[in-house]
């Protein structure tokens, strides 16, 4: 983890501006958005004047077309397409800018959203992963600032609190190949994980190493036998009840 001493950290080390690709209207309409390359091509061709990693106005897009895409965001933050890991970090960062969440009659669904189509994807836990936290100082006020693996930057405040809740891993085919019952049970039992809201209703899991770093930054106390982690950010204090180890 790194301490951040510049309040403009959020504008540094971001992917280069999207390159505009000259495509005709016919070519855009014919582009298959449910393929990795097709969606990549479409987003770059329609980037317009957006610079760096600016999030497009997803709330203003109301596409009527909905399709399914064989893309899964794993519980560990990895993106998999058609059974294979997407290794291009720039591609994952680009697609993360059009992540969209909807609550349809109590069923949470995730999409990659464009002006012309919504592509339904699968998310095992939450779609974003925080892997860095640091302290930034702005106008003599210190903030805890978090960064996701895909470039989102968010500060701990009243609108972005940290919460703990249980996550139940799914039993996969891989687990069926494990003969050790103790290992199998440990991999499938509920896990208490820390989460934080980021944008457009999307949440991020705070990675294990990042959360350990929080325990070093904050103050651990005990109240009625319960461990309490107190974090200071923006001249306010936030308390998190730690689960039993």
Q: In whole angstroms, what is the distance from residue 240 CA to residue 23 CA?
A: 51
Tell me the per-residue pLDDT of 85-105, one tens digit each, with 9 for 90 and over.
Answer: 999 999 999 999 999 999 999
pLDDT at residue number 64: 93
pLDDT at residue number 21: 37
Q: What dihedral do alpha carbons 98, 127, 68, 48 form, nearest 10°?
A: 10
Q: In whole angstroms, what is the distance from residue 236 CA to residue 183 CA?
A: 41
Residue 77 has pLDDT above 90, yes or no: yes
Q: In whole angstroms, what is the distance from residue 27 CA to residue 83 CA?
A: 28
Q: What dihedral do alpha carbons 80, 1, 130, 193 form, nearest 10°?
A: 100
Q: In whole angstroms, what is the distance from residue 116 CA to residue 126 CA?
A: 25
Bridge partner list, 84: 81
Residue 119 — pLDDT band, cuts 50, 70, 90? very high
pLDDT at residue number 9: 39
The fraction of the chain above a pLDDT of 70, given in percent, is 72
The fraction of the chain above a pLDDT of 90, given in percent, is 64
User: Across the beta sheet with 99-104, what order do the strands follow?
Assistant: 84-85, 79-81, 65-73, 117-123, 107-113, 99-104
Range 171-182 average pLDDT: 51
Residue 153 has pLDDT above 70, yes or no: yes
pLDDT at residue number 168: 85
Exposed e or buried b for every residue in 20-41, given b needs 16+ CB within 10 A? eeebeeeeeeebebeebeebbb
On average, the pLDDT of the chain sits at: 81
- Between 151 and 172, where is the model more confident? 151
Residue 18 has pLDDT above 60, yes or no: no
Q: In whole angstroms, what is the distance from residue 127 CA to residue 111 CA?
A: 10
Would you mind telling me the total number of residues written for the chain in this entry? 245
Instruction: List Cβ neighbours of 148 (8 Å cut-off, separation of 6 or more).
Output: 96, 128, 129, 130, 131, 154, 198, 204
Instruction: List Cβ neighbours of 54 (8 Å cut-off, separation of 6 or more).
Output: 97
The three-class DSSP label of residue 28 is: helix
Tell me the pTM.
0.78
Q: In whole angstroms, what is the distance from residue 39 CA to residue 119 CA?
A: 10
Residue 175 — pLDDT band, cuts 50, 70, 90? low
Range 104-111 average pLDDT: 94
Tell me the per-residue pLDDT of 20-57, one tens digit each, with 9 for 90 and over.
Answer: 333 344 444 444 566 677 777 777 676 654 444 578 99
The answer to whether residues 3 and 135 touch, using CB atoms and an 8 Å cutoff, is yes
Cα 143 to its chain centre, rounded Å, is: 20
Kind of pairing between the strands at 226-233 and 219-223: antiparallel
Kind of pairing between the strands at 202-206 and 191-199: antiparallel
Residue 196 — pLDDT band, cuts 50, 70, 90? very high
pLDDT at residue number 37: 75
DSSP conformational letter for 208: H
């Amino acid at each position: 983890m790194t301490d951040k001493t510049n309040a403009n950290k959020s504008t540094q080390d971001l992917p280069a501006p999207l390159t505009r690709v000259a495509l005709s209207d016919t070519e855009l309409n014919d582009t298959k958005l449910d393929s990795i390359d097709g969606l990549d091509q479409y987003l770059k061709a329609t980037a317009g004047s957006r610079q760096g990693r600016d999030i497009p106005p997803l709330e203003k897009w109301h596409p009527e077309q909905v399709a399914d895409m064989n893309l899964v965001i794993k519980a560990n933050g990895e993106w998999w397409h058609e059974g294979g890991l997407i290794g291009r970090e720039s591609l994952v960062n680009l697609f993360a800018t059009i992540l969209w969440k909807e609550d349809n009659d109590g069923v949470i669904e995730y999409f990659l959203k464009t002006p012309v189509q919504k592509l339904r994807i699968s998310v095992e836990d939450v779609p974003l992963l925080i892997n860095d936290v640091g302290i930034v100082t702005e106008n003599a006020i210190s903030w805890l600032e978090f960064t996701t693996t895909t470039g989102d930057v968010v500060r701990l405040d009243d609108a972005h609190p940290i919460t703990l809740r249980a996550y139940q891993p799914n039993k996969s085919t891989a687990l069926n190949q494990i003969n050790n019952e103790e290992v199998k049970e440990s991999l499938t039992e509920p896990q208490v994980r820390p989460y934080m809201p980021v944008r457009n209703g999307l949440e991020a899991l705070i990675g294990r190493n990042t959360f350990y770093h929080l325990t070093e930054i904050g103050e651990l106390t005990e109240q009625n036998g319960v461990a309490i982690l107190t974090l200071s950010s923006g001249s306010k204090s936030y308390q998190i009840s730690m689960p039993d180890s």
